[in-house]
Amino acid sequence: MSRSFQPHLFVILGASGDLTTRKLAPALFRLMQRHDELRCCHILGVARSDLSDAAFRDRIREALRDEPHAADADLSAWCDDHVFYQSLGGGSNGYERLARRVVAIEKAYGLPGNRVFYLALPPKTFPGTIEALGQAHLHKSAGWSRLVVEKPFGRDLASAQALNDLVHRYFDESRIFRIDHYLGKETVQNLLVFRFGNALFESVWHRGQIERVDIQVHEALGVETRAGYYDQSGALRDMVQNHLTQLLSLVAMEAPARFDADSIRQEKIKVLESVVSLRPEDVLLGQYAAGESDGRPARAYREEKGVSKGSVTETFVRLRMEIANWRWRGVPFILETGKRMPEKRTRIAIRFQPAPVSLFRPYEDTCDVRPNILEITLQPDEGFNLHFEVKQPRMPLRLAPRRLRFRYDEVFGDLPQAYETLLGDVIQGDQTLFVHADEVINSWRLYTPILEAGLPVHPYAPGSQGPHSAPQ
C-alpha cells in the first residue's frame, strides 16, 4: 500500500543519549533530504539534561557533519529550522511543560498535530514515561500520534503483559511501533521476496525437502561499554527473544493472504504459536572466559568493567526448536548467538535433505555427496550462496562442492541503513516491519520458563564456536 509522508513533530525522549546522535538524527536527516514532503517536519529532543535549543543543535550538527548531504544542505540552517530541545528538569511538572512546548512548536510551524514519540530510553523507564505521556494527554491531538518503543519489550512474560496493558491504555495497537532494527535491514526484508517471489525455493520450503535450519547471530566483540545493561539482560533477552525469533518467524511463516502489515504479522504469530515448548535439554548457555581473540589477549566476561563478580549471565545461547505444524513438523531449527565468536556474522543456513539413494557407491572414496545448502548472509557481506555438487573433469569419478553466489553491494551499491527504513515506515504509519503485541507475548511465553529454570552456564574460549556440548 502506497503511503505518504505527512507534516509532523518527531519527539525523541532520551535525546541526550548516544542512540539519538548515532542512529536517529542521521536517519531523520537522510529522510528529510531525500523526501521533499518531509521538509516541513520538525524534531524535538527531550531529556532531563539542562540543555538549550542551541546546545542541542550543536550536538546534532556534530553528529551529522560527515553525512553525504550535509555540505549541500547548509547544516546549520537545517538544524536551526528543524531541531529543538525541551528539558524535563527535575520537577514534577516536566511533562506539562513538554505538552506546552509541543503545542507551541505545532502552532508556530502550522503543523496539523501529527506526533511521533520515540522512547530512546533504558527499558526500565518505559512504564513511567508512557504513563507520564498519557497523564499529560500528549497522545491526544488533532492529528495522529504514534509511539515507538525500543527492544527489549519486557523482561519476561509477566512484565511484557503489564507493559502491553499500560501502552494500550493510551495508544491503540495500530499506533504502537515496537522497533527491532534487524527487521529494517534490506536483507531481512528480502526474505519475504526470496521465498514468495521465487517458486523454485517456495516449492521445496517444507519438511519433505529441508533437513534442518540454522539461524546464527555471532559477534566478535565482547560486551564493550554495554556491560551495565547486558549483565542484567544476557543473550537470551538481548538477542534471542527478539532478533533471532523474528528471523525464525520470517523463515517459517506461511504465505500471507495479502502483502500488508496485518496479514504478514498474523502469519508470524501463527509460527510462534506452533513452536513446541522448550525443554532444558534443548538449550545450552555459555559465558566467555579469558583467552585470545583475533591474536590479542581477551579478558573474561566476569572481568569486564560493570559486570558483577561471580556473574552467571549468559553471553552465548544455542537452542533447538521444533515447529509443530504441517509444513515444519520434525525439522529442527537451531538458533544460536554469542559474543567473542570467531567473526561477526548473521546468517541463515537451509540444509536440504540428501538424495534418498546414493548412485555413487562404487566411487565412495572420491564421491562424498554433501547436502545442498542455501546460505543467506544478513551481515556483513550481504547476499546468499547456494552450495551444490559438480563432477570434476576426467576420471576417476570425483565430485567437488561449488556455489552460486550473489552479493547485494555488487549489484545495488550501498544499502539503506536500518533506522532510515524503519523511521520512514513509522512516519508513514506502515507497521509491516514492526512487532505486534501478540508476537511479543508468544515469544516471552517460549523463553520465560528457560529464564526461570536456572540452567548451568558453561565457559567457552574467546574466538571459539561456544561451549562444546550443544543441542543438535
DSSP 301-359: GGGSTTPPTT----SEEEEEEEB-STTTTT-EEEEEEESS-SS-EEEEEEEEPPPSS-S
* Residue 471 is assigned to a structural domain of this protein: no
* Residue 171 is assigned to a structural domain of this protein: no
Query: Residue 194 belongs to what domain range?
Result: 183-414+436-460
Among residues 150, 168, 201, which one ends one of the domains? 150
Dig out the grid coordinates for 457 from the structure.
552456564
| Selection from 221, 227, 45 nearest residue 121 by Cα | 45
Judgement on whether residues 142 and 88 belong to the same structural domain of the protein: yes
Could you list the active site residues? 243
* Residue 140 is assigned to a structural domain of this protein: yes
Grid cell 527473544 in the structure block, residue: 241
* Residue 175 is assigned to a structural domain of this protein: no
Judgement on whether residues 259 and 402 belong to the same structural domain of the protein: yes
| Selection from 73, 44, 71, 68 nearest residue 57 by Cα | 44
Sign of the Cα pseudo-torsion (58, 63, 64, 65, in order):
positive
* Residue 3 is assigned to a structural domain of this protein: no
At residue 1, the pLDDT reads 45
Judgement on whether residues 268 and 144 belong to the same structural domain of the protein: no
Judgement on whether residues 206 and 100 belong to the same structural domain of the protein: no
Q: Is 42 helix (H, G, I), strand (E, B) or coil?
A: strand
Judgement on whether residues 92 and 223 belong to the same structural domain of the protein: no
Among residues 125, 150, 175, which one ends one of the domains? 150
Q: Kindly provide the b/e burial profile for residues 340-372, where b requires at least 16 CB atoms within 10 angstroms of the residue's own CB.
A: bbeeebbbbbbbbeeeeeeebeeeeeebeeeeb
In total, how many domains does the chain have?
A: 2
Judgement on whether residues 143 and 221 belong to the same structural domain of the protein: no
* Residue 319 is assigned to a structural domain of this protein: yes
* Residue 422 is assigned to a structural domain of this protein: no
At residue 359, the pLDDT reads 60
Judgement on whether residues 143 and 189 belong to the same structural domain of the protein: no
- Looking up residue 238, the CATH number of its domain turns out to be 3.30.360.10
Question: Distance of CA 42 to CAs 66, 85, 231, 244, 339, Å?
Answer: 21, 11, 37, 34, 38
At residue 313, the pLDDT reads 94
Judgement on whether residues 114 and 192 belong to the same structural domain of the protein: no
Among residues 97, 126, 150, which one ends one of the domains? 150
Q: How many helices (H) and strands (E) does the chain have?
A: 16, 17
At residue 472, the pLDDT reads 52
Judgement on whether residues 78 and 207 belong to the same structural domain of the protein: no
Q: Which residues fall within 8 angstroms of residue 18, CB to CB, at 6 or more apart?
A: none
d(CA 202, CA 254): 10
Question: Distance of CA 409 to CAs 27, 247, 379, 390, Å?
Answer: 20, 22, 12, 28
Judgement on whether residues 79 and 208 belong to the same structural domain of the protein: no
At residue 469, the pLDDT reads 58
Q: What is the pLDDT along the chain (472 residues), one digit of tens a residue?
A: 446 788 999 999 999 988 999 999 999 998 888 877 777 889 999 999 899 999 999 999 988 888 776 676 688 888 888 999 999 876 678 899 999 999 999 999 999 999 999 999 988 899 999 999 999 999 998 899 999 998 888 899 999 999 999 999 999 999 999 988 878 777 777 888 888 888 888 889 999 999 999 999 999 999 887 888 888 889 999 899 989 999 999 999 999 988 888 899 999 999 999 999 999 999 999 999 999 887 788 899 999 988 988 999 999 999 999 999 999 999 999 999 999 999 999 999 999 987 776 665 555 665 566 788 899 988 888 888 888 777 767 667 777 777 788 888 888 877 778 888 899 999 999 988 899 999 999 999 999 999 999 999 999 999 999 998 555 5
In eight-state DSSP terms, residue 242 is I
Sign of the Cα pseudo-torsion (62, 64, 67, 73, in order):
negative
At residue 379, the pLDDT reads 83
d(CA 394, CA 388): 19
Q: Is-above-0.95 flag for pTM?
A: no
DSSP letter string, 83-148: EEEEE--SSTTHHHHHHHHHHHHHHHHT--S-EEEEE-S-GGGHHHHHHHHHHTTTT--SS-EEEE
Judgement on whether residues 141 and 194 belong to the same structural domain of the protein: no
* Residue 347 is assigned to a structural domain of this protein: yes
Judgement on whether residues 223 and 75 belong to the same structural domain of the protein: no
- Looking up residue 66, the CATH number of its domain turns out to be 3.40.50.720
At residue 184, the pLDDT reads 77
